[in-house]
Chains A and B, each alone.
Chain A
Amino acid sequence: MKTRLILALTALFSSSALAESQLNLTRGVTDISSRVYDLHMTIFYICCVIGVVVFGAMFWSMFVHRRSKGAKPATFHENVKVEIVWTVVPFLILIGMAIPATTTLIAMEDTSDADVTVQVTGSQWKWHYKYFDNEVEYFSLLATRQDQINNRLDKGENYLLEVDRPLVVPTGQKIRFLITSDDVIHSWWVPDFAVKKDANPGFINEAWTRIDEPGIYRGQCAELCGKDHGFMPVVVIAKEPAEYEEWIAAEEERQLKAKEEEQRLMSMEMSMDELMDLGESVYLGSCAACHQANGEGVPGVFPALKGSDMALNDIPAHIDVVVNGASGTAMQAFGNQLSLRELAAVITYERNAWGNDTGERVQAADVNEYMNQ
């Protein structure tokens, strides 16, 4: 009966239900990831062989040495030689396994002589990438829409594995990642590179990869980091070196221009409608995860902005907490995450949405003045 059930289950698994899903570890796209895959398969096959021997002996006993078949119990209960054998043999198998594991591990931890260095900083719940060799840095946030998560819209192909701005790296070059965190512990993981390294606040971890094939590679945060831990994907685009050079140069220029543009726009007054429109989109992207789209927060965890004394009465305190964060709490410093216009807009939005209705506008110049005090 048991075998028939197992057969039925196996049939179920192999036919319809799991036909489209990946069931094994990925071989990945780097030399290291493929060595890791080989190690994984080797130890798996070793376990299978041991399993067949041990379970085989067990099932043999169960079928042959059963009382209903008239088996009479033997009386042996000790044998030192046998004990020695099944202590020593597994030990030797383990040594055989430890050798390739050791060489692979040592190779994985050798981060010297990198061609490109990227600093990866986790925070609740996004990644920040900073290139060491160019003036390029940006945040990378989940791009899946809230309506898809809440089942109001159909889910796309890369549901929960898509970001607004992926990390871009060259193929064929050794890329070193310096991994750290701004708040809790996160873990930066891309299965195709066999790279998973914790982002510890206050400490910097190193990892590296050398990608063989251009492509888009997806991963996720692997360490529980609070409410939206499941909504913190990693996306990496690997480009041919020439293409990468082109991209990074263009990106560098774009970011430089944006800064200049910001200075130029400083003197411009934004209207209430402009501020509220921009503010709402910034709020939903950066603030709503904690303070909620309705501004009511989560009682006991994340404070409400709707009707809060600060949002109604205290502009300097409001600018301060958004720009600098509040130490000892989950409130991050957004001064380096958002542009001056975005900061001004989101503060204005928080002071006028959900019936807060102060009618006050905060302009980029106000924020700039505060930051330069």
Chain B
Amino acid sequence: MSTAGEAIQDHDHDHEHHDHKATGVTRWLFTTNHKDIGSLYLWFSFIMFLVGGAMAMVIRAELFQPGLQLVDPHFFNQMTTVHGLIMVFGAVMPAFTGLANWMIPMMIGAPDMALPRMNNWSFWILPFAFAILLGSLFMEGGGPAFGWTFYAPLSTTYSSDSTALFVFSVHIMGISSIMGAINVIVTIMNMRAPGMSYMKMPLFVWTWFITAFLLIAVMPVLAGAVTMVLTDKYFGTSFFDAAGGGDPVMFQHIFWFFGHPEVYIMILPSFGIISAIIPAFTRKPLFGYASMVYATAAIAVLSFLVWAHHMFTTGMPVFAELFFMYCTMLIAVPTGVKIFNWVATMWRGSMTFETPMLFALAFVILFTIGGFSGLMLAITPVDFQYHDTYFVVAHFHYVLVTGAIFSIMAAAYYWLPKWTGNMYDETLAKWHFWLSLISVNVLFFPMHFAGLAGMPRRIPDYALQFADINQIVSIGGFAFGLTQLMFLWIVIKCCRGGEKALAKPWDGAEGLEWTVPSPAPYHTFETPPEIK
């Protein structure tokens, strides 16, 4: 563990009399403090991660062997649907918002988020959204069973009445995201400390800044899509029904116009995290800061031009297929730039391998593998074979689990000393990393083979040739799921005590957050720091 950082403890006493906070449950209900709200988001997302993970365990248990053993196909579909919704909207996105709340003000030298009451509100509507979604599973007819992509008309004419609750819950999630995004943008534009110019901002701040614009652009589109589903189902409209002059494929255009930027919403903040951690443990500045900023912006712009690559088999004109294939392939260029820059940062550094760095390195390798399969999927003629198979499932779990979620874990280990004032247990954390790394690959890597061999996704039972692969995948799944309970234990242990952390526990770390004591006082940077 690095100990060369210099503690700045002398401010502690000055700050103590500012740290008035309510006690008990009202502290958390009424809080407008960015650190409290950040913690709420992070705990909430971890709970959702476990709930969504439990659903994944149901899926993998059913798929452990061919034949139907545990659940019926209708319930299986509810599990895949709600697993996806929970992981996307309940686990990954709130985790990033939590990190943004905790870190952005501290990184730009601001005392808090710009709109603290809205911040409170944007968090506290989330538990209601997910209570509604999870509650719908217990309705007569079951919860949503049409996939997290809720393609019409399966989600309209052919869905159960829980669809109304699904629509309401997605609306709430969307409002929460939009409020969070507005807060991030207003904070970054107005509350940077003197001297903190845009091109001096840490990359985590930059990537979140761009992510927030994506959120504001596409969440209303999602809201429109669910509203049209609602009116098609209950109010006699025909947006997606050919019999009334509508078009079911239009649903997919609208959905993926939201959906593709959405997947970058879930990865751009990761890029920021990795760009903070790799230099810290390489003891060398990030290579190509400016090109990293431009690459992130390029990815964000391109993300609006590639949505129909999710729809190559819907019967588009050849010209459209070509356009979306070329645009999708283009995304490999700025993404490649980022990966090359990280590798160049490591080159001739002085590396150490604490847990945040291990997760960051695993991110670079495994996210790149997810990028490779993404490039393969971009090639339209071959996508006809890959589309809607386990190859796609493998692809997006590599970018979302070993991408987004590994980066969130890296971030948690990196900043836990700042949040709690204690060092986490490095031995346990290394166990957590290695077990996660092995099990996650046993879980997702064989899925590539299942998909190539022809196994469709979203099926509760499969032909015998896929039996061996599925068994291996399920074993990896159970192992990965159980391993994450270790993470819970490590975090709780760290919150409760441990070796005291210095203000800057990582000797190579850069940034304003390391200039305040650990744990970070309840209020930081009430007087803005001067950036030179």
Contacts and interface: CB of A to CB of B under 8 A. Distances in A.
Given A73-B283, A94-B333, A21 B461 contact: no
Given A58-B361, A109-B318, A203-B315, A71 B350 contact: yes
Interface string A179-219: 10001110101010011111011110110000000000001
Interface in A57-79: 57-58, 61-62, 65-68, 71-79
Interface string A212-254: 0000000111111111111100000000000000000000000
Interface in B361-397: 361, 364-365, 368-369, 372, 375-376, 379-382, 384-385, 387-389
Nearest to A202: B242
Contact of B349 (A61, A200, A329): A61
Given A9-B442, A54-B339, A106-B318, A230 B459 contact: yes
B336 A184 contact: no
B161 interface: yes
Given A62-B351, A226-B154, A196 B384 contact: yes
Nearest to A146: B68
B286 A101 contact: no
Contacts of A104: 381
B141 interface: yes
Contact of B333 (A17, A73, A91): A91
B318 A194 contact: no
B352 A301 contact: no
Interface stretch (A113-121, A131-139, A157-165, A314-322): A157-165
B299 to A, nearest CB: 13
Contact of B140 (A75, A151, A300): A300
A299 to B, nearest CB: 5
Contacts of B457: 224
Contacts of B157: 183, 328-330
B326 A98 contact: yes
B385 A67 contact: no
Nearest to A82: B344
A206 B316 CA distance: 10
Contacts of A149: 67-68, 461
Using C-beta atoms within 8 Å of the partner chain, give the interface range for chain A: 35 or more
Interface string A73-92: 11111110011001100110
Nearest to A44: B376
Interface of A: 5, 9, 13, 17-18, 20-26, 35-36, 39-40, 43-44, 47, 50-51, 54-55, 57-58, 61-62, 65-68, 71-79, 82-83, 86-87, 90-91, 94, 97-98, 101-102, 104-106, 108-109, 124, 148-151, 155, 157-161, 179, 183-185, 187, 189, 191, 194-198, 200-203, 205-206, 219-231, 298-301, 328-330
7 contacts: A22-B465, A24-B452, A65-B348, A77-B288, A78-B289, A83-B291, A106-B318
Question: Considering the complex of A and B, which 10 residue pairs feature the smallest CB-CB distances, nearest first?
Answer: A202-B242, A300-B141, A230-B459, A300-B140, A205-B315, A47-B372, A74-B348, A77-B285, A61-B346, A73-B350
Given A202-B242, A202-B247, A229-B77, 6 more contacts: A20-B465, A22-B453, A39-B381, A43-B379, A65-B346, A82-B344
